[in-house]
Amino acid sequence: MAPDNGPRENILVVDDDAGTVRLITEKLRGKFPNIITCHNGKDALRIVETTPVAVVITDIRMPGIDGLELLRLIKYFNKNIEVIVITAHGDIDNAVEAMKLGAYDYITKPFKLAELQTQASRAMEKYRLVGENLRLKTHLTRRFEDKNLIGYAGNMKEVFETIEMVKDTDSNVIVYGETGTGKEMVARAIHYRSKRKERPFVKVNCAAIPRELLESELFGHEKGAFTGAIAKRIGRFELADRGTIFLDEIGDMPIELQAKLLAVLQDRYFERVGGTQTIQVDVRVIAATHNDLAQCIKDGSFREDLYYRLNVVALVLPPLRKRKDDIPILVEHFLGKLAPRVGKQIEGLSPDAMQALLAYDWPGNVRELENVVERAAIMSKNGIITQNDLPPHLRNIRSASTEIPVGVGRSLSEIERLAIMQTLASVDGSKKKAAEILDISEKSVYNKIKRYGITLVK
């Protein structure tokens, strides 16, 4: 048995005929230097279970564990390993069975070594592509965990609790909130924590697409359906099959299109524009709006039956002016995230800068705050953001308004101490959980507890 040299993209060749193993290995070695060989299914299983293997090339007819059983067991152990099976000439039944069990492909004897090399290259490419997709999905899942929805104010806790309750259901959700409050972030958090997270998350901004094109964007169209339809187009609902579609600014959807959307939500099928073929879909709908839909119903711009179909679960995101206690930890989160982009580390804000942020009403909400923090970080000269680093409309805001949220101190250290205390209280004193919520290291939490003399009550 050839030893494993350690790389993560090994090819395993399995055949009870030593001559065949030698020929395959010599052919593949030029392109794939990391080849492991063995002569029976039992040894092959032990290798797969203990060594990183990307592709397995195995003969079907072997004593003991044959190729089909080996394929079945490999896929049970790790479905991402690609398997190419070698069958006897005319043994089509085994080839068909192998494909049903998840084989990448089969090759019949006598085979050309060049053909086998090509198939191995394609199988390796698929293995790498699947691995990259899994890494991307893992990254997205982590990115949209609750710890990236920052806030400890009571109204944000309700949002977090609702996300946790609805994430594994298929119920439709409407997220209400002003522009910049994070409606899309909430929608993504629900999707990437749900059982649909391996499937697409498709966003449609109903306010940004011209009304005459929105139907085609949502449901697709057939070639020649209208002037300019030079080819068939797949719509967003079709792309989102078995996943989630996020209908942003649903309140701006034309009233004439709302009837078709209602039918899709009820029946789970539709026809493309200009088509007759019925398209069946399994899609979870999350909608968002800054409008008061109840008022839109009264005005006649939104269908009441569609409202009730969508409004199964309602999430209301508070504007930043109503959760100012969250500003210090939002700022700290943004500074940590922005450091690579601005090319420098910012230690924090001066008391007058934080005072200005707390006194401002933030019509653009969290999105505006992040933009202000990024600009200030770029303008900062000594690692501390001062009020002079803020945009002009925030530089003299203290003289115009000195109203500070109840319970928030008037210095940066007092504000930070309060944030640490309230976060620890919300997680029963767990420093690890507090670190996750505040998006800082556990060591930083320990240091801040010591610096501010915070006593944890058990």
Rg (CA), the chain: 29
Residue 400 pLDDT exceeds 60: no
Distance of alpha carbon 421 from alpha carbon 215, whole angstroms: 51
| pLDDT of 137 | 58
CATH superfamily, domain 10-138, is: Response regulator (3.40.50.2300)
- The residue ranking higher by pLDDT, 256 or 136, is 256
Phi, psi dihedral angles at 349 (to 5 degrees) = -115, 150
Helices (H), 7-153: 18-29, 41-50, 67-77, 92-100, 113-143
Distance of alpha carbon 457 from alpha carbon 254, whole angstroms: 56
| pLDDT of 38 | 94
User: Which residues in the chain are classed under CATH 1.10.8.60?
Assistant: 321-452
Is there a contact between 60 and 98 (Cβ–Cβ < 8 Å)? yes
| pLDDT of 404 | 41
Q: What angle do CA 342, 345, 349 make, to 5 degrees?
A: 100
| pLDDT of 274 | 87
Is there a contact between 1 and 25 (Cβ–Cβ < 8 Å)? no
Residues whose CB falls within 8 Å of the CB of residue 95, separated by 6 or more in sequence, listed in order: 85, 87, 106, 108
Phi, psi dihedral angles at 4 (to 5 degrees) = -85, 130
- The residue ranking higher by pLDDT, 303 or 273, is 303
User: Which residues in the chain are classed under CATH 3.40.50.300?
Assistant: 148-318
- CA 220 to the chain's CA centroid: 25
Residue 323 pLDDT exceeds 70: yes
Question: Averaging pLDDT over each range in 208-212, 249-253, 331-335, 344-348, which range is the top one?
Answer: 249-253
Residue 407 pLDDT exceeds 50: no
Is there a contact between 25 and 35 (Cβ–Cβ < 8 Å)? yes
Residue 7 pLDDT exceeds 80: no
Place of tokens 């085994």: 94
User: Which residues in the chain are classed under CATH 3.40.50.2300?
Assistant: 10-138
Residue 139 pLDDT exceeds 60: no
Is there a contact between 175 and 315 (Cβ–Cβ < 8 Å)? yes
Least confident of 56-70, 104-118, 141-155, 296-310: 141-155
Interhelix angle 412-426/442-452, nearest 10 degrees: 120
Furthest CA-CA distance within the chain:
89
| pLDDT of 434 | 79
Which uninterrupted H or E stretch holds 54? strand 53-59
What is the pTM assigned to this prediction?
0.57
Which uninterrupted H or E stretch holds 412? helix 412-426
- pLDDT tier at 410 (50, 70, 90 boundaries)? very low
| pLDDT of 363 | 92
b/e burial code for range 326-335 (CB count within 10 A of at least 16 → b): bbbbbbbbbb
**Strands 278-280 and 269-271: what pairing?**
antiparallel
Place of tokens 């009020």: 387
Least confident of 154-158, 224-228, 292-296: 154-158
CATH number belonging to domain 321-452: 1.10.8.60
User: Residue 147 region, left (φ>0) first, then alpha (ψ -120 to 50), else beta?
Assistant: alpha
Interhelix angle 365-379/351-359, nearest 10 degrees: 160
Phi, psi dihedral angles at 309 (to 5 degrees) = -70, -35
> Over the chain, what is the mean pLDDT?
83
DSSP, collapsed to helix, strand or coil, labels residue 146 as helix
Topology of 148-318 in CATH? Answer: Rossmann fold (3.40.50)
